[in-house]
Chain A
């Protein structure tokens, strides 16, 4: 009788302390749902994603279509038309595709490099760790945008892919640092010790015991990095290091800016305000969502 009741209570505590994955996800979701700003951010991200994915279906005109130039926003041209007579609304939608591609592709590349380096460094330690972390620290201290400009200057080809490649190659140090510190902590934890004592291989410990446990930290960092890369891409394109023929919001802003300086008077305000607002809203969405995720997943992002 007592025996069975004890096992029952044990089972209960087990259930309390180790909820299934679905329950944990539900808890996170409930916390996230309570945070109105995070929901708002998630909404923006969702809308931008839908607009980007279905851009060809939604956009009223073809991005290469040219009509009357420099028309202000109206019912026929929601966001007006640019100097070439292209519909700005269509271009903004195309720009959303570029931005999302840039954000996600760069973060993927950054995670690949950062996690690998952080993992090796944190799990194996020793001299490898020393060398890798010195390298990481140096790159981490260098100012990002000038570094990107220097790196991109030496590519003959101007394209979005080059920007993604360079940003991924430059942006990984912070991820590596955080991954390393998490690995350092978890490497010494009892459950990893237990796994090791029953003869689990390094690979098994890394990939099925440690990595899943730092997933939430990585997800938060990745979400918070996306707006930065969208920024940097737009900035670099604006500064003239992108593909001038792409539909990036940076290109739209650069065109608007040049047109503006050329005109010397405030006439065609929509050319620079609207792409900027698109950029701003997208990044706001990711920032809010990232903040909410961080709070919901209870992650501290000070990995330095």
Chain B
């Protein structure tokens, strides 16, 4: 009798919990829908904001070029200037004799129709010059990004969980050294040690010149060998930077009340760390991945130059040295747009994975 009663009560309780769970599920579903709607509105707003940003950047780049002392025609003709009249004709042909606002409008309208203009030096289309370099840079950056995120997250979590331990100390010190060592100097040391002293790896270019490969596979292996040194150098710096971020973020999260609550409830430590802590600790890291585009491009500029890697960074240094104005402007716009979209992607990801944030 008593047992029956208790079973009955338990049944009632179960029913109560079931309806409650159902209600919660419905609530969660609507909640998710609302979140998705806000996220969608946010994404649309962010994309709209890109338009004024684009114009601002174009004005910035354009004015940089026109405010700075230096004459594109002078740079174009180099050390042996032709007659004054010839230079005047050249200036008129290039539209450089018109007032600066008119020049800007012409440039932007051409830019919007996808025309980046011609190189003053080689006479080739800027887009052609850039696009053949773009992939080499993306290859380099993507590889560096993936590997360094993996290493940084793993080491960052270990260091934070075992705070004040030997592992933490070693990792933190390593990160500090990687963070303080100049990227281009690491590149030089890499060449000195691995390419020149040990002769393990090739130092320059993307393929060994003057070699006919037996099969595409051989070429791929050769290419991968060329990839190792520059990618490793980028990884060292970027991992050091990310590691510090993951570690401090993780340390902060581990001190939160909900972690203590989870532990008090008896949740296993592994679950606490990977499910409760890590997911929250990675939120700020996602934002930084957007910035990583700029960071990696900065590193790539020097690394590509040192390793003669035919990418955007190396190209940028070359054209900036010879002052090829249309190419620099086009390249700057492309890089700026790449960074803008990377940031947009990071922000959107952030909005999706962290619905707590309100974007107004």
Partners in one complex: yes
B348 at the interface (CB under 8 A from A): no
Q: Establish whether residues B68 and A143, one from each chain, have CB atoms under 8 Å apart when the complex forms.
A: no
Q: Establish whether residues A142 and B57, one from each chain, have CB atoms under 8 Å apart when the complex forms.
A: yes
The residues of A that contact B52 with a CB separation of less than 8 Å are: 134
Q: Which of A145, A227, A266, A304 contacts B301 (CB 8 A)?
A: A145
Q: Establish whether residues B185 and A153, one from each chain, have CB atoms under 8 Å apart when the complex forms.
A: no
Q: Which of B56, B60, B180, B182 contacts A235 (CB 8 A)?
A: B182
Interface of A, helix, strand, loop or mixed by DSSP: helix
A88 at the interface (CB under 8 A from B): no
Which residue of the partner chain A has the closest CB to B204?
A: A261
Which residue of the partner chain A has the closest CB to B308?
A: A261
Taking the closest CB of chain A, its distance from the CB of B134, in whole angstroms, is: 14
Q: Establish whether residues A240 and B323, one from each chain, have CB atoms under 8 Å apart when the complex forms.
A: no
Q: Establish whether residues A239 and B340, one from each chain, have CB atoms under 8 Å apart when the complex forms.
A: no
Proximity string of chain A (134-155) to chain B, C-beta cutoff 8 Å, 1 when within and 0 when not: 1100110111111101111111
Q: Please tell me the number of chain A residues within 8 Å of chain B, measured between CB atoms.
A: 48
- Which among A153, A157, A260, A276 has the greatest number of chain B C-beta atoms within 10 A? A153
B65 at the interface (CB under 8 A from A): yes
Interface of B, helix, strand, loop or mixed by DSSP: helix
Q: Establish whether residues A135 and B317, one from each chain, have CB atoms under 8 Å apart when the complex forms.
A: no
| Bound-state Cα–Cα, A241 to B317, Å | 9
Q: Establish whether residues B316 and A227, one from each chain, have CB atoms under 8 Å apart when the complex forms.
A: no
Q: Establish whether residues A143 and B339, one from each chain, have CB atoms under 8 Å apart when the complex forms.
A: yes
- Which among A139, A145, A265, A283 has the greatest number of chain B C-beta atoms within 10 A? A145
The residues of A that contact B336 with a CB separation of less than 8 Å are: 142
The residues of A that contact B197 with a CB separation of less than 8 Å are: 266
Taking the closest CB of chain A, its distance from the CB of B329, in whole angstroms, is: 8
Q: Establish whether residues B320 and A153, one from each chain, have CB atoms under 8 Å apart when the complex forms.
A: yes
Question: Are A276 and B64 also in contact (CB < 8 A) when A135-B56, A152-B320 are?
Answer: no
Question: Are A269 and B192 also in contact (CB < 8 A) when A146-B332, A227-B180, A279-B185 are?
Answer: yes
The residues of B that contact A272 with a CB separation of less than 8 Å are: 185, 188-189, 192
Q: Establish whether residues A142 and B339, one from each chain, have CB atoms under 8 Å apart when the complex forms.
A: yes
Q: Establish whether residues B182 and A276, one from each chain, have CB atoms under 8 Å apart when the complex forms.
A: yes
Q: Establish whether residues A146 and B70, one from each chain, have CB atoms under 8 Å apart when the complex forms.
A: no
A78 at the interface (CB under 8 A from B): no
The residues of A that contact B332 with a CB separation of less than 8 Å are: 146-147, 150
Q: Establish whether residues A257 and B306, one from each chain, have CB atoms under 8 Å apart when the complex forms.
A: yes
Q: Establish whether residues B305 and A239, one from each chain, have CB atoms under 8 Å apart when the complex forms.
A: yes
| Bound-state Cα–Cα, A138 to B50, Å | 10
B282 at the interface (CB under 8 A from A): no
Q: Establish whether residues A143 and B293, one from each chain, have CB atoms under 8 Å apart when the complex forms.
A: yes
A273 at the interface (CB under 8 A from B): yes
B257-294 CB contacts (< 8 Å) to partner A:
284, 287, 290-291, 293-294
A249-275 CB contacts (< 8 Å) to partner B:
253, 256-257, 260, 264-266, 269, 272-273
Taking the closest CB of chain B, its distance from the CB of A42, in whole angstroms, is: 15
Which residue of the partner chain A has the closest CB to B195?
A: A266
Which residue of the partner chain A has the closest CB to B332?
A: A150
The residues of B that contact A154 with a CB separation of less than 8 Å are: 64-65, 68-70, 323
B143-189 CB contacts (< 8 Å) to partner A:
176-177, 179-185, 188-189
B51-72 CB contacts (< 8 Å) to partner A:
52-53, 56-57, 60-61, 64-65, 68-70
The residues of A that contact B321 with a CB separation of less than 8 Å are: 153, 239-241
Taking the closest CB of chain A, its distance from the CB of B164, in whole angstroms, is: 14
Q: Please tell me the number of chain B residues within 8 Å of chain A, measured between CB atoms.
A: 54
Q: Establish whether residues A283 and B180, one from each chain, have CB atoms under 8 Å apart when the complex forms.
A: yes
Which residue of the partner chain A has the closest CB to B312?
A: A146
Q: Establish whether residues A235 and B295, one from each chain, have CB atoms under 8 Å apart when the complex forms.
A: no
Taking the closest CB of chain A, its distance from the CB of B250, in whole angstroms, is: 15
B246 at the interface (CB under 8 A from A): no
The residues of A that contact B181 with a CB separation of less than 8 Å are: 276, 280, 283
The residues of A that contact B317 with a CB separation of less than 8 Å are: 149, 239-240
Taking the closest CB of chain B, its distance from the CB of A303, in whole angstroms, is: 13
Question: Are A153 and B192 also in contact (CB < 8 A) when A142-B57, A253-B184 are?
Answer: no
Q: Establish whether residues B182 and A155, one from each chain, have CB atoms under 8 Å apart when the complex forms.
A: no
B302 at the interface (CB under 8 A from A): yes
A272-293 CB contacts (< 8 Å) to partner B:
272-273, 276, 279-280, 283-284, 287-288, 291
| Bound-state Cα–Cα, A256 to B298, Å | 22
| Bound-state Cα–Cα, A276 to B233, Å | 15
| Bound-state Cα–Cα, A235 to B313, Å | 13
Q: Establish whether residues B53 and A234, one from each chain, have CB atoms under 8 Å apart when the complex forms.
A: no
Question: Are A257 and B188 also in contact (CB < 8 A) when A141-B339, A143-B339 are?
Answer: yes
Q: Establish whether residues B339 and A155, one from each chain, have CB atoms under 8 Å apart when the complex forms.
A: no
Which residue of the partner chain A has the closest CB to B294?
A: A143
Q: Establish whether residues A253 and B188, one from each chain, have CB atoms under 8 Å apart when the complex forms.
A: yes
| Bound-state Cα–Cα, A40 to B281, Å | 30
A156 at the interface (CB under 8 A from B): yes
Q: List 11 A-B contacts (CB under 8 A).
A: A141-B291, A142-B294, A143-B335, A150-B320, A156-B70, A234-B182, A235-B184, A253-B184, A269-B192, A273-B192, A280-B185
Interface residues of A (CB under 8 A from B): 134-135, 138-139, 141-147, 149-157, 227, 231, 234-235, 238-241, 253, 256-257, 260, 264-266, 269, 272-273, 276, 279-280, 283-284, 287-288, 291, 302, 304
The 4 closest A-B pairs by CB, nearest first: A154-B68, A143-B294, A153-B320, A145-B298
